[in-house]
Chain A
Amino acid sequence: MPHRLSSALWFCAPFIVLIVLWAVFIPYFDVNPRLFPHLSSVVQAGIEGIQDGTLVQHISASLLRVAVGTVLALLVAIPLGVAMGVSPFVSNFLTPLFRFFSVLAGIAWIPIATLWFGYGFGAITFVIFNAVFFIVTYNTLLGVSTIPIHVRNAAASLGAGRWAMLTEVLLPGALPNIVTGIRTGLGFAWRGLIAAEMIATNVGLGYMLFVARDFYRTEVIVLGMIVIGVLWLLLDRLVLAPIERATIERWGMVRRA
């Protein structure tokens, strides 16, 4: 326990140094608050945002969009990926197609999404759905098609039915790839979310940043950047990375060197 505590302290130390530098140097050099805000005004903006509820509103709007888009995408992508990956012919045939679309995933869809769905919830959820869907499908496809054929043959000759094959061979075998796909896809989706919110909505973290820019309110911009960074760090390091590590250790085919 003392070891974990000290490593946590070491992790925080650089941030404390950075914050102290910020608090000292910005007033010292008398930087125009239109260029870079003072620490105190950012803290104040944070407190104000929490008190009048706007910050919470922006955060919850953004998180809701990510959650809805991701869940919808996973519900479609995983079954589709497994179904396509089962046959080597189909998966070989479709791989280039999905590579092409996973390249486009996310941000490139913003213009057409806003045209199809109008500005608002629909367009942004569509962008997130897109970013997650293609990458997860592609990775599932890849995961299922790289399961060694003798494992599938062994299961089949031991009398595994279709259902047992699916739940005990195909899904566990593809799981490390699926989880990696989700993590990459969410990374793109998060960026896509911020970009889409700058363009196409009236609530959300990206919108908060972009409106603040119009009024040169740098303290709100910096606050927004910190919130975005912290949220993603929490999501990625505390949720996604541990899941990825656990599945790879449990079901991964990588033998440790």
Chain B
Amino acid sequence: MKQFLLKFWGHCVRLTARWPSIGSIAPFIPVIAAWWIVTELQIFPRVFLPGPMEVVRSFGSLVYTGILPAYLQDSIVRLAVGTFWGIALGIPLGILLGLSQRARTALWPLLLFFQAIGDIAWLPILVIWFGYGLTTITVVIVYTVIFPVVLNTVLGVRSTPITLHRAAQSLGASRIRILWEVVLPGALPNIVTGLRNGLGYGWRALIATEIIVGTSGIGFLMFDARRSGSVVEILLGMIILGILWYIVDSWILAPIERATGQRWGLVTR
């Protein structure tokens, strides 16, 4: 028996060494098993805590009826549009603030204050201005994404050593070339970090907005399910959110962050 277990263990270790992603799935197996056992034993009423099988079944039926793919697409498109504008406005603003002392004294306190208000507190007045719809949701996401991007860009621009500036200048680089070849690459690792933080907040803002003012999307799916008391769909929504963000964060954002950090990072070891 012991022999068998050791052999099995060795097999597991070799398997996770070959495909590291299996290692990150493994911890979920006992959790799902525990969830399944708890629901089978009926410790909580079924209405309050449905089992994994029911969630999978509702996933199947929602995909089959086409609701889930459509909602998922809505959410992702909103997040993408909002993030795009957040980056397009945030990076130039950040560079301006990073390069100009005057702009910084004028705008920095305002930036801190408006960041503190928080995206969700804007919802009521945005609904009055723009009604229920894509504009409101996009504005909220842009608002959420832009602050971490701006603050981190400023940090990045300010942390490029002044010697690099002067070297480029004395070699005869024009202002635009300095911007393009010194300031931007120097700030890039910070910008990416800011983007990652911003998306983390933007993601949550999207969910909150869809819950409160949405007419479609994953957040709306969850809140609609809550209204009709269907815990299965709420759980399904949460699981999809978690998986989706996990994929975006650890397969897209984290590698980009690592790559820019290695390529352009000024972290001196």
Could you list which residues of chain A lie within 8 angstroms of chain B, going by C-beta atoms? 10-15, 18, 34-35, 92-97, 99-101, 103-104, 106-112, 114-116, 188, 190-192, 194-195, 198-199, 206, 209-210, 212-213, 216, 218, 221-222, 224-226, 228-230, 232-233, 236-237, 257
**Cβ of B109 < 8 Å from any Cβ of A?**
yes
**Cβ of B192 < 8 Å from any Cβ of A?**
no
Residues in A neighbouring B211, C-beta threshold 8 A: 107, 110-111, 195, 199
Q: Is the CB of A195 within 8 A of B212?
A: yes
Known A-B contacts: A108-B222, A115-B234. Give 17 more (CB < 8 A). A11-B109, A14-B107, A14-B109, A92-B23, A94-B27, A95-B27, A103-B242, A108-B204, A108-B237, A111-B225, A188-B201, A191-B208, A195-B212, A198-B124, A206-B121, A229-B113, A229-B116
Majority secondary structure of chain B interface residues (helix, strand, loop or mixed): helix
Q: Is the CB of A222 within 8 A of B125?
A: yes
Mask: chain B, 76-112; 1 = CB below 8 Å from A; 0 = not: 0000000000000000000000000000011111101
Q: How far is the CA of A230 from the CA of B125 in the complex (A)?
A: 18
Q: How far is the CA of A222 from the CA of B40 in the complex (A)?
A: 50
Residues in A neighbouring B222, C-beta threshold 8 A: 108, 111
Q: How far is the CA of A196 from the CA of B245 in the complex (A)?
A: 21
Residues in A neighbouring B113, C-beta threshold 8 A: 15, 229-230, 233
Q: Which of B195-235 contact A (CB under 8 A)?
A: 200-201, 203-205, 207-208, 211-212, 222-223, 225-226, 229, 231, 234-235
Q: How far is the CA of A236 from the CA of B112 in the complex (A)?
A: 10
Q: Is the CB of A18 within 8 A of B110?
A: yes
Q: Is the CB of A199 within 8 A of B212?
A: yes
Q: How far is the CA of A119 from the CA of B49 in the complex (A)?
A: 18
If A188-B204, A212-B124, A232-B116 touch, whether A112 touches B226 (CB-CB below 8 Å) is yes
**Cβ of B179 < 8 Å from any Cβ of A?**
no
Q: Is the CB of B118 within 8 A of A191?
A: yes
Q: Is the CB of A15 within 8 A of B117?
A: no
Could you list which residues of chain B lie within 8 angstroms of chain A, going by C-beta atoms? 23-28, 31, 48, 105-110, 112-114, 116-125, 127-129, 200-201, 203-205, 207-208, 211-212, 222-223, 225-226, 229, 231, 234-235, 237-238, 241-242, 245-246, 249-250, 268
Q: How far is the CA of A171 from the CA of B106 in the complex (A)?
A: 41
Tell me the nearest residue of chain A to B24, going by C-beta. A96
* Partner among A11, A96, A108 whose Cβ is within 8 Å of the Cβ of B28: A96
Instruction: Tell me which of B119, B121, B127 has the highest count of chain A C-beta atoms within 10 A of its own C-beta.
Output: B121
Majority secondary structure of chain A interface residues (helix, strand, loop or mixed): helix
| Minimum C-beta distance from B39 to chain A (A) | 15
Residues in A neighbouring B223, C-beta threshold 8 A: 111
Q: How far is the CA of A209 from the CA of B118 in the complex (A)?
A: 13
In the assembled complex, 13 residue pairs joining A and B whose CB atoms fall closer than 8 Å, in A order, are: A96-B27, A97-B28, A99-B246, A103-B242, A111-B211, A112-B238, A191-B204, A195-B120, A195-B211, A206-B120, A213-B125, A222-B125, A233-B112
Instruction: Tell me which of B108, B113, B120 has the highest count of chain A C-beta atoms within 10 A of its own C-beta.
Output: B120
Q: Is the CB of B28 within 8 A of A194?
A: no
Q: How far is the CA of A233 from the CA of B147 in the complex (A)?
A: 14
Q: How far is the CA of A88 from the CA of B192 in the complex (A)?
A: 29
Q: Is the CB of A14 within 8 A of B110?
A: yes
* Partner among B25, B106, B205, B226 whose Cβ is within 8 Å of the Cβ of A111: B226
Q: Is the CB of B241 within 8 A of A115?
A: no
Q: How far is the CA of A186 from the CA of B231 in the complex (A)?
A: 27
Instruction: Please provide the 5 A-B residue pairs with the shortest distance between their CB atoms, ordered closest to farther.
Output: A213-B124, A229-B117, A111-B226, A96-B24, A195-B208
Q: How far is the CA of A236 from the CA of B207 in the complex (A)?
A: 24
If A115-B48, A191-B208, A198-B212 touch, whether A228 touches B121 (CB-CB below 8 Å) is yes
Residues in B neighbouring A35, C-beta threshold 8 A: 128-129
Q: Is the CB of A101 within 8 A of B204?
A: no
| Minimum C-beta distance from A254 to chain B (A) | 11
Residues in B neighbouring A10, C-beta threshold 8 A: 105
Q: How far is the CA of A35 from the CA of B212 in the complex (A)?
A: 20
Tell me the nearest residue of chain B to A37, going by C-beta. B125
Q: Is the CB of A97 within 8 A of B225?
A: no
